[in-house]
């Protein structure tokens, strides 16, 4: 691949289907930047081992990888323009990760805030070495393709910081091999879940998925958390931090309707039912083209497999090139 454009690397762990949080956090930026950047979208299956090392989970990886590709295609990621690849098909990344692990101290890795968050959320008492080095493997993913930009959700910013430090340290100790990558955070930093309690997350189950049908969306919206201080529709309501309005702001393209609903809400002139009915309509409108695109590719497993195989081949070539350069810079080769 001739590097004429700046590069993007970002991706997802194949732990489940993608949701609205992924869309605002990173997918929207990915689709928007596909023409300006050479994009590499990684399906980070090795990263799932850090929280799910059971045969049941690992043997489900191929299915979930195909599911993610389908999610990508449905939102408009175009394999003609962008590389979609599976991390485990590019073993060079683990080699690079091993080299990088010598540039990061144990306390530095322990200070990454997501480590504590993941341990807390998943009730992990002692982190494995794999979980501790998660951001180092991620640095290898990013630097392997010499990415300039990493579109991720707010929760991933601290990981990109580790990649930046690794790039700077390597360049300083050896020679200028790596660009120092920048994080690009989506407009809605971290989208809250339908429960109003935590960020929308596959492992919590407070999600509206891009693959949900109309009825499911209607039901989920009906059950959404709103303003708990408001007991009846005539009480003045709060907009700030209210998930229903956060979603209206993010997904309802009728801005006038949103302004008008907010205005009535704070005055106690509209009930949750109307706000939610309008939200469900807006979300279903947003999801309609995504559903149509998904239907085009659904069941075409051979095509999906071909996309992964071709993408992984391209990523592999980049990885071999970078690893050669790294070993040469280090004087090992
Ligand atoms: P898991 O529960 O398995 O960690 P997840 O739903 O948090 O899954 P990830 O695969 O960890 O999803 O995240 C993939 C990308 O989507 C990352 O860039 C992450 O920052 C972003 N992302 C995930 N959830 C949200 C959210 N609620 N709001 C904004 N961005 C998000
Ligand atoms: Mg996550």
What would the pLDDT profile of 102-133 be if each residue is shown by its tens digit?
999 999 999 999 999 889 888 999 999 999 99
> Domain check: are 55 and 128 in the same one?
yes
Question: How far, in Å, CA of 236 to CA of 231, rounded?
Answer: 10
**Which whole number is the average pLDDT over 200-208?**
88
Would you say the CB of residue 3 lies under 6 angstroms from ligand 1? Answer: no
- In this prediction, residue 178 carries a pLDDT of 98
Choice from 16, 21, 189 to test ligand 1 binding pocket (greatest atom count within 8 A of CB)? 21
- In this prediction, residue 153 carries a pLDDT of 83
> Domain check: are 236 and 325 in the same one?
no
Residue 27 belongs to domain with CATH number: 3.40.50.620
- In this prediction, residue 64 carries a pLDDT of 96
> Domain check: are 156 and 248 in the same one?
no
Distance 201 CA to ligand 1 centre (A): 6
- Give residue 255's Cα distance to chain centre: 26
pLDDT digits (tens, 9 = 90+) for 147-187: 999 998 888 999 999 999 999 999 999 999 999 999 998 88
- Count of domains observed in the chain: 2
- Whether 254 has a pLDDT exceeding 90, the answer reads yes
**Residue 58 maps to a domain:** yes
Which residues contact residue 279 at a Cβ distance below 8 angstroms, ignoring those fewer than 6 apart? 221, 224, 244, 247, 248, 251, 252
Helix or strand (DSSP H, E) at 101: none
The parent domain of residue 143 ranges over 7-192+300-330
Would you say the CB of residue 20 lies under 6 angstroms from ligand 1? Answer: no
pLDDT digits (tens, 9 = 90+) for 65-100: 999 999 999 999 999 999 999 999 999 999 999 999
**Residue 131 maps to a domain:** yes
**Residue 121 maps to a domain:** yes
Look at ligand 1, atom 26, and give the residue with the nearest C-alpha.
Answer: 21
Would you say the CB of residue 57 lies under 6 angstroms from ligand 1? Answer: no
> Domain check: are 286 and 306 in the same one?
no
> Domain check: are 170 and 239 in the same one?
no
């Amino acid at each position: 691949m001739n590097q004429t454009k700046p590069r993007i690397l970002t991706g997802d762990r194949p732990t489940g289907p993608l949701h609205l949080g992924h869309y605002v956090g990173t997918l929207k930026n990915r689709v928007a930047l596909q023409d300006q950047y050479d994009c590499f979208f990684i399906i980070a299956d090795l990263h799932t081992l850090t929280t799910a090392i059971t045969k049941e989970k690992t043997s489900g990886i191929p299915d979930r990888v195909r599911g993610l590709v389908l999610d990508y295609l449905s939102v408009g990621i175009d394999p003609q323009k962008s590389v979609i690849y599976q991390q485990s098909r590019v073993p060079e990344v683990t080699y690079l990760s091993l080299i990088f692990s010598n540039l990061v101290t144990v306390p530095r890795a322990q200070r990454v805030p997501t480590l504590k968050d993941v341990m807390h959320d998943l009730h992990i008492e002692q982190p494995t070495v794999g979980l501790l080095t998660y951001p180092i493997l991620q640095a290898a993913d990013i630097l392997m393709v010499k990415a300039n930009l990493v579109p991720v959700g707010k929760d991933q910013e601290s990981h990109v910081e580790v990649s930046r430090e690794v790039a700077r340290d390597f360049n300083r100790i050896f020679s200028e091999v790596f660009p120092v990558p920048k994080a690009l955070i989506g407009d809605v930093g971290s989208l809250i879940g339908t429960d109003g309690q935590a960020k929308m997350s596959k492992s919590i189950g407070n999600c509206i998925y891009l693959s949900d049908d109309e009825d499911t969306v209607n039901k989920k919206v009906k059950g959404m958390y709103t303003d708990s201080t408001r007991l009846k529709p005539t009480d003045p309501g709060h907009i700030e931090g209210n998930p229903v309005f956060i979603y209206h702001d993010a997904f309802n393209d009728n801005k006038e309707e949103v302004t008008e609903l907010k205005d009535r809400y704070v005055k106690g002139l509209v009930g949750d039912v109307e706000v939610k009915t309008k939200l469900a309509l807006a979300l279903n409108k947003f999801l309609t083209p995504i559903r149509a695109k998904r239907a085009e590719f659904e069941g075409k497993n051979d095509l999906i497999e071909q996309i992964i195989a071709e993408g992984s081949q391209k990523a592999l070539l980049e990885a071999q090139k970078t690893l050669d350069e790294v070993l040469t810079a280090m004087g090992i080769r």
